[in-house]
Amino acid sequence: MTEMPNVLWLDEISKDDIPSVGGKGASLGEMTSVGLPVPKAFVVTAQAFRKFLVETGLEDSIFTLLSDLDVDNNEALEEVSQSVKDLVLGAKMPEGIKEEVLAAYASMGDGEMVVAVRSSATAEDLPDASFAGQQETYLNIKGEADVIEAVQMCWASLYGARAIYYRAKQGFDDRTVNIAVVVQQLIGSEKSGVMFSSHPVSGEPLTIIEGSWGLGEAVVSGSVSPDKYVYDRRLKRVVDRLISNKEYMIVPVGEHGTELVEIPKDRQDEPVLTDTEVERLAEFGRISEEHYGVPQDLEWGTVGDTIYILQSRPITTIGVNAHKAAPAAAPAGELGAIILEGNGASPGVASGPVIIVHDVKDLGKVRDGDILVAKMTNPDMVPAMRKVSGIVTDEGGMTCHAAIVSRELGTPAVVGTKTATKTLKNGQVVTIDGEKGLVFEGAAAVPAGAQAVPAAQMVGAAVAQAPIITATSIKVNVSMPEAATRAANSGADGVGLLRIEHLILGLNKTPGWFIKNGKEEEFISELYTGIKTVLDAFPGKPVWVRTLDAPTDEFRNMLGGEDEPEEHNPMLGWRGIRRDLQSEAQFRMQVETFKRLWDQGYDNLGLMFPLVSHPDQFVRAKELLAGWGVDVDAVDLGIMIEIPACAILIEDFCKAGISFASFGTNDLIQYTIAIDRNNQLVTPMYWPKHPAVLKLIHDAIAVCREYDVECSICGQAGSDPKMVEWLIRNGITSVSANIDAVPKIRETAARTEKRMILDAVRSRNAEERNL
C-alpha cells in the first residue's frame, strides 16, 4: 500500500481524502475540481503530523496528560492544554517533513509568496459537527522560517482548551483526531465575508451573504457588524439588504500578521456589494451546494472584479432542535420593555441573569443559566457558551462566531445590538428572543421541562400532531414571499394580510421612480412574482392583499426618495388609500398586477384598501378598478378598519358593497387613544384593550354580521390568545395571526368555541329546569 505523502496539492485532493487533509483541505480540493475560483494551495497532511508525534516521541506524553481530564474544570483544562501545546511547540520538526514543506512553498513563488496557514482537523467541517474556529489560522505569512513556525503552531492548536473541550463534548477521542495544515496563497481581499447557500436555520433557498471591507477575518470573528444581503434563489433577486456602519477592517501588516484599522469615514456606511456581485456570489454558493448535495457555509473574498471562494463546508444547524430554551413562539409570563434590538441569530426564548464577559479572564464567572453578554464571542468562550441559556453581542451578524456556535448548541442568541455591554449590567435579569432579535427587561415564566424548536419546525409539528377544526377561520399574516411556504405549513385557512409594501421596499426604488423612468412593467413584474408565490402556497384559500401603505419616510432612502415630501408626522400623512387615489399612476401599477393575477385564474385573491376614513374612498377606488378593466362584481374587495371614523361609519361601508373588513389594531389603537406606538416616552400608555377601542371593534363586528360581511383582524392583537378569545365571543368571523402564533391561536379558537357551546347548553338546560 502506497504511503500517503507529507504534502498534497489541491488538484490531487478530493472529498474522500478527509482522513489525510482534514475537512478544510478536502473541501478546497473538491472545490478546485468543480471549477470554483480557489487560490492555489498545498496541504501538509495528517500523516505528516502523526509522523511528527511518533518521531519526536510526543505521542505517549500527550495522551497521558489528556487521559482522565475533566474538561468541565476550567482551570485543569487550561493547565493541561498549555502543557501539551508547549510540548508540540518545543519539539523540532523532522527534517524530511520540513524539506517537503519548504519545497512546496518555494514552488508557489520562489519562497516569497504571502500565504495564509490554516488548520484543517480531520474531525473538522464534517456534516454533523461544526468545529469552526477550534484550531488556529495565521495570515500574512512570508518566508521559510515563518511558514514552518506557523505550521507547527497549527499543530499545537489541536490541543487548545476550546478544541479539547469541544471534542470531548462531541464524543471524539483525542487519539483518533489528527490535523492537517493548508498553506494557501493569501488573497489581499478588498472586500470579503461569509455566505450561507441556504438559510442556516430553515433551509429555505435564501442565500445569505455578509461582507465588509478588508480581510474576511473581520466578519468571521465578529470584529465588525457586516452588511447583510438576502438573495432569493427562486425569485432570482436580492430581497433584503442591511447596510451597516463598518468602523474597522483587518488588513495585512508588513510581512507578518494582520492589524485592525479604522475605515475612512466616507466608506463606513457605503454598501460593500452591488446586486450583481451578490448574484455572482449566490451562483457560486448554488454550485457548491449542488455539488455537495447539502447547503454550504462559504467564505469569499474579492480583488477588483475577481471573486475567490476561500472555504466551503456543510451547514450543520438546519433543523437542529434547541434544548435549553422556551418555545420561540410562546413564552409565558409578563415581559418588560424591549431594551435592546439586534439580529435574531439563533431562535428560541431564554431568561436569566446577565454576565458580561470582556475577556477570557471573565469566563470563570459564568454559571449555568446565565445570559452571556460580550462585544463578540470567540472560540475560547465555547465552554462558557455551552453553560449559558442565551447569548447577546454588540457586534456580528448571522454568520459570526456567536451565531454559528449558538445555533449548533441550540442556544438562543441576539447579535449586533451595538451597545449590549454598555446597556446591560451584571446580574440584571433579561429575556432574549433569538428569532426576533429582541432583548426584554425581566424574565419570561417558562414551564418546567419546556423545550424549544425552530419556529418553522414548531409550526409544522403543531399542525401535524392533530388538525383542529374551528368555525372561526384562522388565517396568517405574510410580509415576504420567501415566508409563504412556512406560512402555509402553519395550517392556516388563508392569508388575512399580505403586505405588499415589504415587496416594494425590497426593490430599493420608489413607485414614483419606476413611473418617472418609464419602468412600470418592471415594477408590475416584480410585484406579480412576489404575490404569485404566496398565492401558489395557498391554493383554493383566500389571500387578502393590502394595497400599498408605506409612510413617506420609509421611501426617503430609496432611489426616487428625493421626490418624497417632508412630513412632520408620516403616520398621519400621505399614505394608504388617500395616496393611491391622488397618485393614480401608482395605484394603476398595483391594479394592473392584481388584474393579471385574476386573469390567470387566481380568484382567491382579495383586495384590501388601507387607511380608509369614508365610504367615498372605497367607492372611488372601485370605480378606478372598473375603469381599468376589472370586473369589480366578480372579485372580493374589502377595507382595513384602522381609523375610528371607519369603524363608526362601517354600516355605510357595508352598504357601499365591501366584501370583507379587517381590523388593523396597531393603527386603530394609536388613532383612538392618541398614543404614538413608536414613541418610547408613551409606550407604557399604549393600551390595546382600552374600553374605547373594544367598543369600536364590538360595534363594527355587530354591523358586519348584520350585513353578512366577513369581519376579521390582522393587527398584532390577532396573535394575542386573550384578545382572540374576546373577539370570538363578540362574533368575529376570522382571525389572522403571525406565522408562529397560528397553532396557539387555533387552539384558543377551538377552546373558546367549545366553551361557548357548553355555556349555551348549560344556559338552556337551566332555563328548562326553571319552567
Q: What residues are paired with 735 via a beta bridge?
A: 474
Task: Report how far residue 298's alpha carbon sits from residue 293's, in angstroms, rounded to the nearest whole number.
Answer: 14
Residue linked to cell 511528527 = 52
486: three-class secondary structure by DSSP? helix
CA 84 vs CA 64, 73, 158: distances in Å: 10, 17, 10
- For the record, the C-alpha cell of 43 comes out as 496541504
Q: Say if strands 473-478 and 495-499 run parallel, antiparallel, or are unpaired.
A: parallel
Contact predicate 160/81, CB 8 Å: yes
Identify the active-site residue in 401, 646, 654, 711.
Answer: 401
CA 671 vs CA 643, 685, 702, 744: distances in Å: 6, 13, 21, 29
Identify the active-site residue in 154, 704, 711, 714.
Answer: 714
Q: At what angle do helices 584-599 and 615-627 cross, to 10 degrees?
A: 60
Task: Report how far residue 624's alpha carbon sits from residue 595's, in angstroms, rounded to the nearest whole number.
Answer: 12
Alpha-carbon dihedral 283, 288, 293, 296, rounded to 10 degrees: -90
- For the record, the C-alpha cell of 233 comes out as 434563489
**Number of helices and strands in the chain (H, E):** 28, 29
Task: Report how far residue 764's alpha carbon sits from residue 766's, in angstroms, rounded to the nearest whole number.
Answer: 5
Does the annotation count 154 as an active-site position? no
Q: What residues are paired with 213 via a beta bridge?
A: 191
Contact predicate 428/410, CB 8 Å: no
Single out the residue of 131, 212, 203, 125 nearest to residue 397, CA to CA.
Answer: 212
Q: What residues are paired with 303 via a beta bridge?
A: 306
Task: Report how far residue 80's alpha carbon sits from residue 86's, in angstroms, rounded to the nearest whole number.
Answer: 10
Q: Say if strands 371-374 and 349-356 run parallel, antiparallel, or are unpaired.
A: parallel
Contact predicate 194/216, CB 8 Å: yes
CA 61 vs CA 88, 205, 730: distances in Å: 11, 49, 77
Distance of CA 428 to the CA centre of its chain: 26
* Count of beta carbons in the 10 Å neighbourhood of residue 96: 12
What DSSP string describes 40-89?
-EEEE-HHHHHHHHHHHT-HHHHHHHHTT--TT-HHHHHHHHHHHHHHHH
Amino acid letter, 603: D
- For the record, the C-alpha cell of 57 comes out as 516521541
Alpha-carbon dihedral 355, 359, 362, 368, rounded to 10 degrees: 50
- For the record, the C-alpha cell of 646 comes out as 371607519
Does the annotation count 704 as an active-site position? no
Amino acid letter, 100: E
Task: Report how far residue 164's alpha carbon sits from residue 79's, in angstroms, rounded to the nearest whole number.
Answer: 12
Q: Where do the H-state alpha helices sit in 246-299?
A: 265-268, 275-292
Contact predicate 508/558, CB 8 Å: yes
Residues acting as catalytic residues: 401, 714
